[in-house]
Amino acid sequence: MAELVRLDVEDSIGTIRLLRPKLNALNAYMTEGIRGAAEEASSRADIAAVVVYGGENVFAAGADIKEMQPMDYTDAFVRGARLQKAFDAVAAIPKPTVAAVTGYALGGGCELALACDFRVAADDAQFGQPEILLGLIPGAGGTQRLPRLIGPARAKDLIFSGRLVDAAEALAIGLVDEVVPAPEVYAAARRRVKQYVGGAGVALRAAKEAIDRGLETDLATGQEIERGLFSGLFATKDHALGIASFIENGPGKAKFEGR
């Protein structure tokens, strides 16, 4: 089996590349490849941020429908769990992540983009959760992450109808954070996360954890999560470096060590 997912690293930015011709349809091999690449990116000290990229033509056009056709309930239950685990691994990367979306991000492709912190889209990109048109619903986080991002009413509109949205509408409803000409998508995605390279990596990890865990609970519990993570940062070398640099040189000039 040819390599379908690859993790590259350049200038402390990891790129998880989807490499299945022609549309990056998400089959079982790709699912495992995404999970493995995400877990590797999480553990590598030389990676400060991550781009998920499907290439110049398409991000991912959804699940492999031919692979799905013979599935019964048990098969779908197991396959869905594996796909959720893969995308959860992307969401759990303790570093800033961005999806660089060209062409289509549909079904599982849209759900993969939703698992990232940010989304940069080509001006001709299209997004959607068209599972309803197959008599199904999103099964890899779409019914959960999409309403958390754009609100329940807008998410229901997209999921109930299965319609596609273009880049302009995706930007207007908050589904994407930036729209650029198609040839500039990957460079723009790298620019978005490059600002975090050399930053306070432990604090960035804590900030991401506080936000993501806090969204799953009530305000009081979220503040307890925040307080614990905030206090823990006082045990880090970066905290000492940041405060000393601020006192001596003013804000924004600290050189962090990521520990």
Tokens of 175: 């589904």
* Residue 256 pLDDT exceeds 90: no
Domains and CATH numbers, the chain: 5-194 (3.90.226.10), 201-249 (1.10.12.10)
Q: Give the model's pLDDT for residue 77.
A: 85
Average the pLDDT over 241-258 and give the result: 82
pLDDT of residue 78: 84
Fill in the DSSP letter of residue 60.
B
Q: What is the mean pLDDT of residues 199-211?
A: 92
Residues with a known catalytic role: 111, 131
Q: Is the pLDDT of residue 125 over 50?
A: yes
Going by pLDDT thresholds of 50, 70 and 90, the confidence category of residue 2 is: low
Tell whether the model's pLDDT for residue 8 goes beyond 80: yes
Between 157 and 68, residue with greater pLDDT: 157
> pLDDT-based confidence at 42, cuts 50/70/90?
very high
pLDDT of residue 71: 81
Band of pLDDT at residue 1, cut at 50, 70 and 90: very low
Q: How confident is the model at residue 181 (pLDDT cuts 50, 70, 90)?
A: very high
Q: Cα torsion for 145, 149, 151, 156, to the nearest 10°?
A: -40
The residue-averaged pLDDT of 235-256 equals 84
- pTM of this prediction exceeds 0.85: yes
- Type and span of the H or E element at 180: strand 178-180
pLDDT at 5 (0 to 100): 96
Question: Average per-residue pLDDT in the chain?
Answer: 93
Segment 163-183 shows an average pLDDT of 98
Percent of the chain with pLDDT over 70: 99
C-alpha pair distances (Å), 50 with each of 37, 174, 216: 10, 21, 23
pLDDT tops 90 at residue 57: yes
Nearest to 209 by CA among 174, 233, 238, 192: 233
pLDDT at position 254 is 74
